[in-house]
A and B are shown apart, each in its own frame.
Chain A
Amino acid sequence: MANTSSFSSSPSTKFSFDEKPHVLAVDDNLIDRKVIERLFINSTCKVTTAENGKRALEYLGLADGQHPNHNDLKVNLIITDYSMPGMTGYELLKRIKESPTMKEIPVVVVSSENIPTRINQCMQGGAQEFLLKPLQLSDATKLRCHIKKPLQGGFAGEDDHA
Chain B
Amino acid sequence: MDVLSQLQRQLADFLASLYREGFVDDQFTQLQKLQDESSPDFVMEVVSLFFEDCEKLVNNMAKVLEQQVVDFKQVDSHVHQLKGSSSSIGAARIRNVCIAFKTFCEAQNREGCLRCLQQVNHEHAQLKANLQSLFTLERQIVAAGGSVPAMQ
Contact = CB atoms under 8 A, between A and B. Distances in A.
B31 interface: yes
Interface stretch (A16-24, A34-42, A54-62, A149-157): A34-42
A42 B36 contact: yes
Interface of B: 27, 30-31, 33-34, 36, 38-39, 42, 45-46, 49-50, 53, 80-81, 83-85, 87-90
Contact of A137 (B34, B46, B80, B85): B34
Nearest to B48: A1
A133 B27 CA distance: 10
Contacts, number: 52
A1 B52 CA distance: 13
A139 to B, nearest CB: 10
A136 interface: yes
Contact of B85 (A29, A38, A39): A29
A31 interface: yes
Contact of B84 (A1, A112, A136, A137): A112
A133 B84 contact: yes
Nearest to B54: A31
A133 B86 CA distance: 11
A134 B27 contact: yes
